[in-house]
Amino acid sequence: MHSEAAIREPLILGHRTYHDITQDIVGPIEQKAPRGWYVLTTIAALIALYGVGCIVYLLSKGIGTWGLNKSVDWAWDITNFVWWVGIGHAGTLISAVLLLFRQKWRMAVNRSAEAMTIFAVIMAAMFPLLHMGRLWLGYWVFPLPNQFGSLWVNFNSPLLWDVFAISTYFSVSLVFWYIGLIPDFATIRDKVTKPGMKKAYSILSFGWTGNAKAWTRFEEVSLVLAGIATPLVFSVHSVVSFDFATSVIPGWHTTIFPPYFVSGAVFSGFAMVQTLLLVMRKVMHLEAYITRKHVEYMNIVIIVTGSIVGVAYITELFISWYSGVEYESYAFINRATGKYWWAYWSMMTCNVISPQLFWFKKLRTNFAFTFFMSIIVNIGMWFERFVIIVTSLHRDYLPSSWNMFHPTWVDAGVFLGTIGIFFTLYLLFARYFPVVALNELKSILKTSGESYKKEAADHHHH
Amino acid sequence: MANKVIYAVYEDPEQLKDGARKLVSNGVSVKDVFSPFPVHGLDPIIGVKRTRLAIASFMFGITGTALAVLGITYFMIWDWPMNIGGKPSQALYKNLPAFVPVMFEFTVLCAAHGMAITYLIRNKTLPGMPARNPDPRSTDDKFIIEVRTADNHGHSSEAITDLLRTTPVFEINERQY
């Protein structure tokens, strides 16, 4: 059997057998949920319900209930959209890119990161739909034959590219996730004894057998899906950045947007994974699988992508001066020193300065500090989108059109609502789905499990 | 003599591979293997051929590209060319760069879903299918070799069982079918 270098830290702590892994992951699904789960789900569901109320109000009254005005005609809606899509980037990155790089540590985190991706993309997709005002006409974004004359959607427009990018990304991520879930559902099906549960997981597992040919196909599908999901994940946020970059608004018209947005997305996505997993590993007792090393690996990704984002901010600033375009340089000076200086400096502090603390090993291996930082990063990334969108719009070419954006309670309620819906979905996932890719983890148990590594090392010394 | 199916249950994928190797080298053909996770290096031993799913995915992908090119040409060039800021709208090749993102996304969409559907059909894993693994422990911690006497006319079930006993097998189950 091929063994792993002793210098690599174990990915599964303590002594575990294959059966222990099944027990540790499926056990919580079989038992009654802990009280904490009911408390959290109730809070999340109440916030979600409030959000649904705000959405119903918004749809019945119209977009006028948002704080948009003539100058700032795009604000929280698109900020929230880009923020959620960005968060939705870590899942596919972990499962596809890290699979191609053969990073074994992904196996403990990929399942929940993919679930996060799917829920985050659903939240993101709500904003363009809501901004249409008439939700029921959302299907007009597709090139469907219609009775309005030969009226087609515009394939030159980045907004339409977004439709294709987001729907492809969402559906491919969903399929990738589900194909990985099938064998784990089969494990639950074969383990549970309650007839209702057995029936439910039997349907979910699609009759999976786990025979040799099925596993060969499974590995091929995972590899090919990872191969095509990798350019897909990079294309999605590039296309989102085109929404701005192809316009002629100073502050948006920037060629570095695609890589800058993609690294920002990975940055915020990993932060959200940390927020969710640090709570989950404690509540569901997954400390043996989601270890300090896993958290450290993700913090390293955060510092790398955070630094790329920092370089992008400074490049933007430099080029706005170096280009000699006065509108461009005004847009950036205004961001840093104008009326929205507080948003700009919140963004700079949260995204560029504070993640640099992760250079200290003591801090990046500290759970409490990581949790705190993961929240800071996501606040910072929300401000990044707000700064790009609102500060670029609020100073129009004509000073008579200068304006500020004042969000209304509907703006805030809808945003808060999506956070509630997101956490409700995630908590339901954590309760009923295998939160760790347990069968995949079994395949690395004997090479990366702590007790097996120790055994191999002892064997080696004699 | 009734046909028999023999299940050799192992506790470790390496031991299972040793068992499979032993059977095959003694001329016993292995019907199938059931395991909780993929056992690397098993396929050449028991003679499972490489899957062609990747080729299928490529076919679906280029079909997607072709459909996207055809669709966009129809919508944007033939049926209703739009004058947007004087940008070229009369020939596909002149306006192609703006169409690349959708062509790419549609290629990925078709390649991924085409392959996923093919995968589910080929594996006979579809909603409502019953579980068909011989032993519920094969999705937990046991690795099972299935041998059928009908495939091995030169060997009695006793001979196969004796052969299996020389490998680190955990248990052997026999069934009539």
Q: Are strands B32-34 and B171-176 parallel, antiparallel or unpaired?
A: unpaired
CB distance from B97 to chain A under 8 Å?
no
* DSSP-assigned states of every residue in B14-35: HHHHHHHHHHHHTTPPP-EEE-
Taking phi over 0 as left and psi of -120 to 50 as alpha, with beta for the rest, B80 belongs to beta
Closest CA of chain B from A54, distance in Å:
33
pLDDT tens for each residue of A125-179: 999 999 988 888 888 888 888 777 678 888 888 999 999 999 999 999 999 999 9
Q: Are strands B143-148 and B32-34 parallel, antiparallel or unpaired?
A: antiparallel
Q: What is the arithmetic mean of pLDDT over A205-211? A: 90
Sign of CA dihedral A76, A241, A174, A39: negative
pLDDT at residue A10 in the model: 83
pLDDT band at A2 (very low <50, low <70, confident <90, very high): low
B177 CB-contact burial (10 Å; exposed 0-12 / middle 13-18 / buried 19+) = exposed
Residue A446 has pLDDT above 90, yes or no: no
CB distance from B114 to chain A under 8 Å?
no
CB distance from B145 to chain A under 8 Å?
no
pLDDT at residue B6 in the model: 87
pLDDT at residue A369 in the model: 94
Closest CA of chain A from B158, distance in Å:
25
pLDDT tens for each residue of A234-275: 999 999 999 999 988 888 988 899 999 999 999 999 999 999
Closest CA of chain B from A141, distance in Å:
13
Q: Do A209 and B133 touch (CB under 8 A)?
A: yes
Task: Name the 3-class secondary structure at B8.
Answer: strand
pLDDT tens for each residue of A60-71: 999 999 999 888
- Give the 3-state secondary structure of chain A: CCCCCCCCCCCECCCCCHHHHHHHHHHHHHCCCCHHHHHHHHHHHHHHHHHHHHHHHHHHHCHHHCCCCCCCCCCHHHHHHHHHHHHCCHHHHHHHHHHHCCCCCHHHHHHHHHHHHHHHHHHHHHHHHHHCCCHHHHHHHCCCCCCCCCCCCCCCCHHHHHHHHHHHHHHHHHHHHHHHHHHHHHHHHHHCCCHHHHHHHHHHCCCCCCEHHHHHHHHHHHHHHHHHHHHHHHHHHHHHHHHHHCCCCCCCCCCCHHHHHHHHHHHHHHHHHHHHHHHHHHHCCCCCCCCHHHHHHHHHHHHHHHHHHHHHHHHHHHHHHHCCCHHHHHHHHHHHHCCCHHHHHHHHHHHHHHHHHHHCHHHHCCHHHHHHHHHHHHHHHHHHHHHHHHHHHHCCCCHHHCCCCCCCHHHHHHHHHHHHHHHHHHHHHHHHCCCCCHHHHHHHHHHHEHHHHHHHHHHHHC
Q: Please tell me which residue of chain B has the smallest CA distance to A172.
A: B112
Q: Give the ipTM of the model, two decimals please.
A: 0.91
Element at B176 (helix H, strand E): strand B171-176
pLDDT at residue A445 in the model: 85
Q: Do A207 and B132 touch (CB under 8 A)?
A: yes
Cα separation, A454 vs A458, in Å, equals 6
State chain A's mean pLDDT as an integer: 90
**Strands, sheet with B4-10, edge to edge from the N-terminal-most edge strand:** B32-34, B143-148, B4-10, B171-176
**Per-residue tokens: A307:** 């630094």
CB distance from B140 to chain A under 8 Å?
yes
pLDDT tens for each residue of A167-181: 999 999 999 999 999
pLDDT band at B176 (very low <50, low <70, confident <90, very high): confident
CB distance from B103 to chain A under 8 Å?
no
Q: Do B35 and A212 touch (CB under 8 A)?
A: yes
Cα separation, B158 vs B147, in Å, equals 12
**Per-residue tokens: A48:** 């979600």
Q: How many CB pairs under 8 A join A and B?
A: 201
Residue A1 has pLDDT above 60, yes or no: no
Contacts with B96 (C-beta within 8 Å, 6 or more apart), sequence order: none
CB distance from A212 to chain B under 8 Å?
yes
CB distance from A209 to chain B under 8 Å?
yes
pLDDT at residue A206 in the model: 92
Residue A285 has pLDDT above 90, yes or no: no
**Per-residue tokens: B119:** 């995968």
Q: Do B50 and A186 touch (CB under 8 A)?
A: no
A295 CB-contact burial (10 Å; exposed 0-12 / middle 13-18 / buried 19+) = buried
pLDDT at residue B1 in the model: 54
The overall pTM is greater than 0.95: no
A52 CB-contact burial (10 Å; exposed 0-12 / middle 13-18 / buried 19+) = middle
Q: Do B119 and A179 touch (CB under 8 A)?
A: yes
CB contacts, 8 Å: A161 with chain B: 101-102, 105
CB distance from A150 to chain B under 8 Å?
yes
